[in-house]
Amino acid sequence: MVDNNEGQPDTSKAFAMLDAFASVGVTIFDLTFTNIKEDARGRQEVRGHDENQSLAVVRQSMPRLMANAPRQQNNIIVRPHNPPGVLVVQLDDLDSAKADRVTPHAFMVIRTSKGKDGTGNYQAWVAVNDAPAGKEAAKDFARRLRKGAGADRTASGATRIAGSLNFKRKYAPAFPLIEITHMNPGKLTGCAALDLAGVVAAREEPRPPLPAYARPVTPSGRPSRKKWPSYSYCVQHAPMSHGEDRPDISRADFTWCRTAIEWGWSKEDTARRLMELSEKAKENGERYAVLTATNAASSVERQPYRDRSTPRPA
């Protein structure tokens, strides 16, 4: 039972969000359903996950999903797939000032909660029509855009549907409504415009590989055996999520993946292991795990040296 909400679920707003994605060419989505129930680490229970759903199927099922969500206290989460020739970038975890900077270039901005300071927690969605060719180059540009905009650098690209309630225990009983605060349907932007706006971080120059003498060794002087880093250590030492009193699991996942890759694991093995350890990976699916491990591997290639202590072995 839901009482004292900031607003009531509104399917028309869900349709408006889907239409905004469609206006920049998105036709395929992944759907995930999480419940308000959380474990000791604040990770929500995953109730379902459907990949590669067409826009028509998602629209058709949305009235039923929106009607059932309040009774079951479920979150309805959509992840848009990039359409041909367009890079869709989620700029997550923005305060109002950061959101204002990127709004002129976004086709949609949403407000997910009041935020810790009361000014709001926002997501901006940007569609880039001239992103660098090649999968890795496009990923690097998206990473630099997230960094330059001050957004969550490891955002999964999944979002709660507009018009639904944000079911988290800390918000009870006044669960915030996911609201669209800005829409510019069909808005496409280019790399140069984003760069000129000062929201794209500079490229990082790769550093040379870690020399053999600097690699971890055992007390006997032999090369250390490959071990998995401690996932719980990464969670415990992760920064707090913007506007929330819990660790940023995206950052923890990224740090854990980066450490595992630095310790000699492949990004494929790292992604598979992350699926076993991270509730966020289980919630968002294999694509999230692969993307996080891939971004971590790219980070290691760019900046192989670490200036701080790394997580202990599990």
Predicted confidence (pLDDT) per residue in 20-42, tens digit: 999 999 999 999 888 877 665 56
Q: What is the DSSP string of 258-287?
A: HHHHHTT--HHHHHHHHHHH-HHHHHH-HH
Q: Does residue 312 belong to any structural domain of this protein?
A: no
Predicted confidence (pLDDT) per residue in 215-274, tens digit: 544 444 444 457 899 998 898 888 877 666 678 898 999 999 999 998 889 999 999 999
- Give bridge partners of residue 89 from the DSSP assignment: 126
Least confident span in 52-56, 81-85, 237-241 = 237-241
Residue type at position 89: V
pLDDT-based confidence at 152, cuts 50/70/90?
Answer: confident
- Give bridge partners of residue 113 from the DSSP assignment: 121
Q: Does residue 236 belong to any structural domain of this protein?
A: yes
The helix (run of H) or strand (run of E) holding residue 140 is helix 135-149
How far is it, in rounded angstroms, from Cα 308 to Cα 86?
37
- 235 and 162 in a single domain? The answer is no
Q: What is the pLDDT of residue 96?
A: 92
Q: Does residue 43 belong to any structural domain of this protein?
A: yes
- 49 and 80 in a single domain? The answer is yes
Q: Please provide the average confidence, as pLDDT, over all residues in the chain.
A: 84
Residue type at position 76: I
pLDDT-based confidence at 124, cuts 50/70/90?
Answer: very high
Q: Does residue 310 belong to any structural domain of this protein?
A: no
Residue after which a domain boundary falls, among 126, 161, 196 = 196
pLDDT score of 86 more than 90: yes
- 144 and 32 in a single domain? The answer is yes
Average confidence (pLDDT) over 7-21: 92
- 136 and 238 in a single domain? The answer is no
Instruction: Look up the CATH number of the domain holding residue 229.
Output: 1.10.1240
Q: What is the pLDDT of residue 242?
A: 64
Find out whether 114 and 156 touch, Cβ atoms under 8 Å.
no
Predicted confidence (pLDDT) per residue in 179-203, tens digit: 999 999 999 999 999 999 999 998 8
Domain enclosing residue 17, as ranges: 11-196
- Give bridge partners of residue 54 from the DSSP assignment: 28
Instruction: Look up the CATH number of the domain holding residue 39.
Output: 3.30.70.1790
pLDDT score of 98 more than 50: yes
Residue after which a domain boundary falls, among 196, 224, 256 = 196
Q: Does residue 313 belong to any structural domain of this protein?
A: no
